[in-house]
Amino acid sequence: MIIPFEREYKEKWIKKIIGEVVAEREFVYTGHSRDGYVHGYSFECTKGDLRQDIHITVIGNTIRMQLNTNAYGQIWVNVCDLMELYLKPDAKGFVEFKDEDEYKEILHSFCEILIQKGFAVLEEKSKSTTEVRPKKETYWKLYTEHDELNREYRKKYDLEDTESSLKCMKRISDIILETTDREFAEVENIPLYRHAIFIKIQDYVFDNSKIGFWHSI
């Protein structure tokens, strides 16, 4: 039987249980966000231009913790993939809880994973996966010619009449797989295809002081 409890208590225990552990590594709580029924809670640690992120997502009676950094090429890691505990996450890394006590137990388990594996993983992910980068002009082209590029690439890849994100993602994934053995200079436009098709340009601004840096408004 699931016993619901208020969102404020979920945030309270995240700040207390997770917050006390990550504060020792100079992480600070950056707040709560919401997208419909999806609630996010974030901690970050900034070291110069490097930012390390710990993000917790709560959907209904499920919870997930993920780690990442802003180092180029890195992707999010589910903490439940780092250690085998009593937790039984689903394919996306979410763990179910029935009540407030189980919720707190899961948070304590997340702390154990962070201490034993997670912080080390964050250090590993603080290094870029490659030194090559898309040129600044590539990002600027996306910003200034987004609508034209959207039409061009949708037509080029037979996506003109679809609003299906799944179909778009599958097509782009196929393109990436087809070009894995080619030099970066030859495939630099692939991120441009992806962003031109997916990003709502009005939700982002281009920071001309940094190479290829975008941030949400």
> pLDDT (tens digit, 9 = 90+) per residue, 71-106?
877 888 999 989 877 788 888 899 999 999 999 999
Contact (CB, 8 A) for 104 and 95: no
Q: How far apart are CA 52 and CA 174, in angstroms?
A: 30
- Identify which of 105-114, 128-137, 200-209 has the greatest average pLDDT: 105-114
pTM, two decimal places = 0.63
Total domain count for the chain? 2
3-state secondary structure of 127: coil
Say which amino acid occupies 150: N
- Quickly state the pLDDT bin for 216 (edges 50, 70, 90): very low
Of 199, 142, 149, 185, the C-alpha closest to 157 is 149
Give the domain-ending residue among 124, 159, 181: 124
Do 106 and 146 have their domain in common?
no
In a domain, 131, yes or no: no
Q: What stretches of the chain show up as alpha helix (H) in DSSP? A: 7-13, 19-23, 100-113, 119-124, 136-144, 146-156, 165-178, 184-187, 190-198
In a domain, 71, yes or no: yes
Do 150 and 211 have their domain in common?
yes
Burial of residue 44, with CB atoms counted within 10 A of its CB: 0-12 exposed, 13-18 middle, 19 or more buried: middle
> pLDDT (tens digit, 9 = 90+) per residue, 10-55?
999 999 999 999 999 999 999 999 888 899 999 999 988 899 999 9
3-state secondary structure of 191: helix
In a domain, 2, yes or no: no
In a domain, 129, yes or no: no
Do 118 and 20 have their domain in common?
yes
Of 45, 16, 58, 28, the C-alpha closest to 122 is 45
> pLDDT (tens digit, 9 = 90+) per residue, 140-159?
777 788 788 778 877 877 77
Report the CATH number at residue 96.
Answer: 3.90.1150
Contacts of 213 (CB under 8 A, 6+ apart): 139, 206, 207
Contact (CB, 8 A) for 85 and 112: yes
Contact (CB, 8 A) for 126 and 52: yes
What was the pLDDT predicted at 171? Answer: 73
Contacts of 119 (CB under 8 A, 6+ apart): 25
Give me the domain span that covers residue 162.
Answer: 136-216
Give the domain-ending residue among 76, 93, 124: 124
Do 152 and 100 have their domain in common?
no
Of 98, 105, 100, 104, the C-alpha closest to 2 is 98
Locate 25 and state its tokens.
């590594």
What was the pLDDT predicted at 24? Answer: 94
Q: What stretches of 27-124 show up as alpha helix (H) in DSSP? A: 100-113, 119-124
Do 116 and 212 have their domain in common?
no
Among 14-18, 131-135, 157-161, 163-167, the minimum mean pLDDT is found in 131-135
Give the domain-ending residue among 104, 124, 144: 124
